[in-house]
Structure 1
Amino acid sequence: MPPLPQNRHLVTEIPGPGSMRLARRRAAAVARGVGSTLPVYAARAGGGIVEDVDGNRLIDLGAGIAVTTVGAAAPRVVDAVREQVAEFTHTCFMVTPYEGYLAVAEALNRATPGTHEKRSVLLNSGAEALENAVKIARSYTHKSAVVAFDHAYHGRTNLTMALTAKSMPYKSGFGPFAPDVYRAPASYPYRDSLIDKDLGSDGGRAAERTIGVIESQIGAHNLAALVIEPIQGEGGFIVPAPGFLPALLAWCRDNNVVFIADEVQTGFARTGAMFACEHEPIAPDLICTAKGIGGGLPLAAVTGRAEIMDAPHVSGLGGTFGGNPVACAAALGAFATVEAEDLVGRARRIERLIFERLGRAQADDDRIGDVRGRGAMIAIELVRSGTADPDPDLTKALAAACHRAGVIVLTCGTFGNVVRLLPPLTISDDLLAEGLDVLVGELAKL
């Protein structure tokens, strides 16, 4: 098959007839509760393009929700997967282990922040990683309570729904949820500054507010773990004020509380560092990863301090498919791609290009309340003109207009008013610039 052309090209309206035929099949076969952002069906993807079954080529500013960081068909990943599939697809690491699992664990132990001795366990999804991180923390501390944050998202399983803040669509109607999970205020600089300018810029002050809630409403003597995204994802790509994360980590260390960093969306070169924790920098006790580490295949991990990771009894961790050999091969191909192509540096360049373009747009349009993020994880918070009131209707309309124009963008945010940009790091400058021009142009029409 010839290489996928790297240009936006629309041959039908979105969706086209082929996608509409598949949509009719979907309605008869797939559960209604599974949503999709775009009504198009993919046929090929690579670089910065997704091609649908009608031959439309769309600029990809979503990367499968930060999964195809190294591209949707990265050659090193493809080659590694082909080679492994020809050898064996499964034995179960808990039955007859294999070297690929070890190699991925070793790579994660080297790559994650901190020089302390580490261990890893491989799993299938980000939610499963969070579930296991909490199990490990409870086993280590012999305490049960867990703190999560306003605007947090950690998954769709029972425990991770309890950790997640937003009700619709993630939690509504699915309770009761796992007990002994509590919520504390996060650092949200844009909105905190509307209340108190210093609170929005001083992470130490924001941490004092958080710690005060934890100590008064839960008590450190009951708390096993604090679970936090270094940059909140579904909550709106919220980058905490400088000093917030280090202050929380210091408090955790003083109080025998395990600091769990959810790097499922932020990890693996996405933010212009291998892990978002490195921007402060901090070295969490446990780091949960998924999405980008598998090169598009399902893989997740918990990596952390050896003494904490080794707390659970033998056979207390695991799972039939955790660390599947094909997914491990893909992960090793993805690690090699990040290093060989300097995708950490590439993410930093993408950040500069996006901020430069959106900064100009923000100066001309007061409905762009905030532009924030790091690397190739950037968001636009949309508000009603002349106010800071969230505008979810404008956000929904802008995303739909971009989709019709052949640009994949995603939305998020507790208030439904954030457009998030997560391009694959393999996207070209020209494609990225065109996608941003479409985004800004469509906003100007609304």
Structure 2
Amino acid sequence: MTTELSPDAPAGLVERARKDYQELAGRGLSLNLTRGKPAPEQLDLATDLLSLPGGRHTSADGTDVRNYGGLQGLPELREIFAGLLQVPAGQLLAAGNSSLELMHDCLVHALLGVLPGAASRWADQERIAFLCPVPGYDRHFALCERFGIEMIPVPMTDEGPDMETVERLVAEDSAIKGIWCVPKYSNPTGVSYSDATVARLAAMPTAAPDFRIFWDNAYAAHHLTDEPVEIADLLAACAGAGHPDRAFVFGSTSKITAAGAGVAFFGSSPANVTWLLGHNAKRSIGPDKVNQLRHVMFLRDADGVRAHMERQRALLRPKFEAVGRILQKELGGTGLATWTTPRGGYFVTLEVPDGCAKEVVRKAAEAGIVLTPAGATHPYGDDPRDAVIRIAPSYPGLAELEQAIEGLAVCVRLVGYEKRAA
């Protein structure tokens, strides 16, 4: 997706870009495209959830959800999401509202406890590193930085992380304990992992016997087209390749029902599930089963999830189409930008000429359009090319989004043409 600068632009283009920017800055905009939050209209789709479970307080097996216990979560909710997350229901945990919290806890428990297959705690080892496909998810990187875990960038391809690089690094360095993956409609590129990539991740030899794939399947049901992408079953592939404990699978309902009252999931091998439950038993006497029960009543079954996500898609698709349409109109043929057209997920990745992303973001902010900081898509906030900008179209209304993307395009033209003419 490299964007090459063409020869010096005519002075007229630079002057026009400056006038367009002056007009934009004078409009007094206040627009925000920083995070991929569901819009109020999306949350409204789950309003009925808030009136549940009504007078009911027992699960299908007679458990009183008002009381303590049930650390693994309600069986009927795990059944609903087992197929979607490609994890047998008996190996799936239903927890609180944040899958990020589960990822955090898995890191903490690996640092302070001993993973199945490990010889010692991670905290007792001289150096711990994770592979980080880039562009990637800033909150994954923040977790590593929080715990002093070294981050090693790995380029993303159209099929997932560059597997030749991944295989070489994990085979030669026993300090590499994991890799972050958003396998379907990746944040922020929208790439979905190919079957070959999944198979290679499952089968590759690793110098660390306790290597883990943190499989953040956040967008498992978040399709934008009429042809949903399907990815291979990593957990089954790992078991088939003789590495049953390799995969940690995460998911949640946060961008399905209510982001502030969702349910998060963890799936893995029986040994890993026992390991996590043993640690969780010391920090909790059970999850919010009332919330889990109301999700069961609201969604009903896997088909109910799919039907609900169709309603979500009807709200999101026009926004993503607007982003592509405006970028093509305003920047197509300029040589100043390329962008992704995702088939699902929550983000569009915009690439501008090398050395321009931070300045584009700064100019946009001065004009009242707040974007995710340039560099957030890379470990330590450092995009070595300074070229990647993440666009989050979900939250603003369509009219506000269109204004923001038009304004962003003005900033790209200004910074790009000035750099070209310098």
What TM-score do the two structures reach when normalised by structure 1? 0.58
Q: Structure 2 CA distance, aligned partners of 1:270 and 1:84?
A: 28
For the residue of structure 2 that corresponds to 1:139, the secondary structure is: coil
Against the structure 1 CA distance between its residues 218 and 313, is the aligned structure 2 distance closer, same or farther, given a 3 Å change threshold? Answer: closer
Given candidates 348, 353, 357, the residue that maps to 1:391 is 357
CA contact (8 A) 1:141 1:256 kept: yes
For the residue of structure 2 that corresponds to 1:393, the secondary structure is: helix
Aligned residue in 2 for 1:421: 391
Give deviations 1:11-39, integer Å, cap 9, x for gaps: x9566xxxxxxxxxxxxxxxxxxxxxxxx
Against the structure 1 CA distance between its residues 380 and 393, is the aligned structure 2 distance closer, same or farther, given a 3 Å change threshold? Answer: same
What are the equivalent positions in structure 2 for 1:5-24 lying under 5 Å apart? Answer: none
**Structure 2: runs of 5 or more not aligned:** 1-26, 58-63, 123-127, 236-246, 416-422
CA contact (8 A) 1:119 1:306 kept: no
> Which shows bigger deviation, 332-341 or 290-299?
332-341
Given candidates 98, 110, 117, the residue that maps to 1:141 is 117
Aligned residue in 1 for 2:171: 215
Deviation (angstroms), 1:130: 0.5
Against the structure 1 CA distance between its residues 431 and 353, is the aligned structure 2 distance closer, same or farther, given a 3 Å change threshold? Answer: same
CA contact (8 A) 1:124 1:300 kept: yes
Give deviations 1:23-64, integer Å, cap 9, x for gaps: xxxxxxxxxxxxxxxxxxxxxxxxxxxxxxxxxxx7x866xx
Q: Structure 2 CA distance, aligned partners of 1:252 and 1:331?
A: 40
Q: Structure 1 CA distance, aligned partners of 2:114 and 2:93?
A: 17
CA contact (8 A) 1:117 1:305 kept: no
Residues paired across the two proteins, number: 343
Against the structure 1 CA distance between its residues 373 and 295, is the aligned structure 2 distance closer, same or farther, given a 3 Å change threshold? Answer: same
Aligned residue in 2 for 1:281: 232
Against the structure 1 CA distance between its residues 184 and 425, is the aligned structure 2 distance closer, same or farther, given a 3 Å change threshold? Answer: same
For the residue of structure 2 that corresponds to 1:149, the secondary structure is: strand
What are the equivalent positions in structure 2 for 1:325-336 lying under 5 Å apart? Answer: 325=289, 327-328=291-292, 331-332=295-296, 333=298, 336=304
1:186 and 2:154 correspond = yes
Aligned residue in 2 for 1:7: none
Q: Structure 1 CA distance, aligned partners of 2:227 and 2:106?
A: 20
For the residue of structure 2 that corresponds to 1:120, the secondary structure is: strand
Q: Structure 1 CA distance, aligned partners of 2:42 and 2:310?
A: 17
Deviation (angstroms), 1:116: 8.2
Whichever residue aligns with residue 163 of structure 1, its letter is C
Deviation (angstroms), 1:122: 0.7
Aligned residue in 1 for 2:144: 163
For the residue of structure 2 that corresponds to 1:188, the secondary structure is: strand
Given candidates 44, 58, 65, the residue that maps to 1:74 is 44
Deviation (angstroms), 1:261: 0.7
Q: Structure 2 CA distance, aligned partners of 1:273 and 1:114?
A: 25
Q: Structure 2 CA distance, aligned partners of 1:202 and 1:83?
A: 41
Identity %: 10
Aligned residue in 2 for 1:401: 367
Against the structure 1 CA distance between its residues 153 and 294, is the aligned structure 2 distance closer, same or farther, given a 3 Å change threshold? Answer: same
Aligned residue in 1 for 2:5: none
CA contact (8 A) 1:122 1:300 kept: yes
Q: Structure 2 CA distance, aligned partners of 1:287 and 1:434?
A: 38
Q: Structure 1 CA distance, aligned partners of 2:96 and 2:70?
A: 14
What are the equivalent positions in structure 2 for 1:3-42 lying under 5 Å apart? Answer: none
CA contact (8 A) 1:376 1:423 kept: no
Aligned residue in 2 for 1:251: 204
CA contact (8 A) 1:378 1:422 kept: yes
What TM-score do the two structures reach when normalised by structure 2? 0.61
Q: Structure 2 CA distance, aligned partners of 1:263 and 1:121?
A: 14
For the residue of structure 2 that corresponds to 1:312, the secondary structure is: helix
Give deviations 1:185-234, integer Å, cap 9, x for gaps: 42234xxxxxxxxxxx6768x21212212221217xxx76443233653x
Q: Structure 2 CA distance, aligned partners of 1:398 and 1:66?
A: 18
Whichever residue aligns with residue 420 of structure 1, its letter is R
* Aligned-pair Cα RMSD in Å: 4.8
1:228 and 2:181 correspond = yes
Q: Structure 2 CA distance, aligned partners of 1:253 and 1:270?
A: 33
For the residue of structure 2 that corresponds to 1:316, the secondary structure is: helix
For the residue of structure 1 that corresponds to 2:100, the secondary structure is: helix
Given candidates 356, 366, 384, the residue that maps to 2:335 is 366
CA contact (8 A) 1:402 1:409 kept: no
Given candidates 79, 84, 87, the residue that maps to 1:106 is 79
Whichever residue aligns with residue 122 of structure 1, its letter is A
Deviation (angstroms), 1:323: 3.7
CA contact (8 A) 2:320 2:393 kept: no
Against the structure 1 CA distance between its residues 240 and 109, is the aligned structure 2 distance closer, same or farther, given a 3 Å change threshold? Answer: closer
Q: Structure 1 CA distance, aligned partners of 2:78 and 2:294?
A: 13
Against the structure 1 CA distance between its residues 307 and 314, is the aligned structure 2 distance closer, same or farther, given a 3 Å change threshold? Answer: closer
For the residue of structure 2 that corresponds to 1:140, the secondary structure is: coil
For the residue of structure 2 that corresponds to 1:292, the secondary structure is: coil
What are the equivalent positions in structure 2 for 1:342-357 lying under 5 Å apart? Answer: 342-343=310-311, 346=314, 351=320, 354-357=323-326
CA contact (8 A) 2:42 2:312 kept: no
Q: Structure 1 CA distance, aligned partners of 2:77 and 2:263?
A: 10
Q: Structure 1 CA distance, aligned partners of 2:387 and 2:401?
A: 22
CA contact (8 A) 1:303 1:309 kept: no
Against the structure 1 CA distance between its residues 398 and 240, is the aligned structure 2 distance closer, same or farther, given a 3 Å change threshold? Answer: farther
Against the structure 1 CA distance between its residues 349 and 120, is the aligned structure 2 distance closer, same or farther, given a 3 Å change threshold? Answer: farther
CA contact (8 A) 1:125 1:300 kept: yes
